[in-house]
């Protein structure tokens, strides 16, 4: 059953037809007494503080260590895929994160020769252990003689290790090779 009002609804008519609670009735009274523009301003005044609360910033101390737990400085770190920031020469930095981003789910290091081994967050301090990478990622594209990509092909790499891979629909494939491994010729692929 639909209720139609010939004129602007009053708080008592709203209460009878809609079963609104006391706070909702107060808001209905205010909104029925003012025009639309003023209603929007009132709603913004009510809900804008809640939006500001969700954007609060939290300061965290970030410390980086090598595998023997000695401070490791002068490296660039990214937390949760955000922008990189510089760790000072003594292995520490202070960063601000949105309150909603304080759960650290990923850590990246800009230097491609090192990587995060582990990290821990406790009492406003993020401790990151950094280790040298034992591999490098190599990107390849497999093409036919006419230059078109070769999708879904099985590839075997013969080097210090035998590695198998498969090309994607664009003919691309990736190999993780030991740091000291060098791709010497196309004959290493079958």
Backbone angles phi, psi at 15, to 5 degrees: -65, -40
Tokens 């920031």 — which residue? 85
**Nearest residue to 116 (alpha-carbon basis) of 164, 159, 168, 79:** 79
Residue 183 banded pLDDT, cuts 50, 70, 90: confident
What value does the mean pLDDT take over residues 159-168? Answer: 91
Residue 54 banded pLDDT, cuts 50, 70, 90: low
* Mean pLDDT, the chain, integer: 82
Backbone angles phi, psi at 122, to 5 degrees: -155, 125
pLDDT of residue 184: 87
Distance CA 54, CA 49 (A): 9
Residue 134 banded pLDDT, cuts 50, 70, 90: confident
- Domains of the chain in sequence order: 11-53 (no CATH), 57-132 (2.60.40), 135-188 (no CATH)
Element (H, E) at 42: helix 36-53
Give the CA count within 13 Å in the CB-facing half-sphere of 14: 18
DSSP secondary structure letters along 86-132 = EPPTTSEEEEEEEGGG-S---EEESSTTEEEEEEEEETTEEEEEEEE
pLDDT of residue 27: 60
Distance of CA 18 to the CA centre of its chain: 43
Cα torsion 68, 124, 54, 21: sign: positive
Q: pTM higher than 0.75, yes or no?
A: no
User: Tens of pLDDT along 13-31?
Assistant: 544 545 555 555 566 666 5
Cα torsion 82, 85, 91, 97: sign: negative
Maximum pairwise Cα distance, the chain: 86
Contacts of 68 (CB under 8 A, 6+ apart): none
Distance CA 109, CA 77 (A): 5
User: Tens of pLDDT along 62-110?
Assistant: 999 999 999 999 999 999 999 999 999 999 999 998 888 778 999 999 9
Query: For residues 127 and 166, is the Cβ–Cβ distance under 8 A?
Result: no
């Amino acid at each position: 059953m639909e209720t139609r009002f010939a004129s602007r609804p009053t708080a008592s008519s709203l209460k009878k037809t809609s079963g609104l609670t006391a706070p909702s009735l107060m808001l209905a009274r205010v909104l029925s007494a003012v025009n639309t523009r003023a209603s929007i301003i009132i709603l913004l005044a009510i809900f804008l503080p809640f939006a500001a609360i969700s954007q609060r910033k939290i300061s965290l101390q970030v410390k980086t260590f090598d595998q023997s737990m000695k401070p490791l400085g002068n490296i660039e770190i990214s937390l949760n895929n955000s922008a990189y920031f510089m760790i000072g020469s003594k292995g520490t930095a202070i960063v601000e994160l949105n309150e909603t981003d304080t759960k650290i789910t990923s850590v990246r290091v800009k230097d491609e020769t090192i990587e995060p081994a582990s990290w821990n967050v406790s009492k406003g301090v993020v401790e990151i252990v950094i280790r040298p990478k034992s591999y490098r990622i190599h990107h390849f594209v497999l093409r036919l003689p006419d230059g078109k990509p070769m999708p879904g092909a099985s590839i075997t790499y013969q080097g210090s290790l035998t590695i198998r891979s498969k090309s994607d629909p664009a003919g691309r494939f990736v190999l993780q090779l030991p740091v000291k491994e060098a791709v010497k010729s196309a004959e290493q692929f079958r």
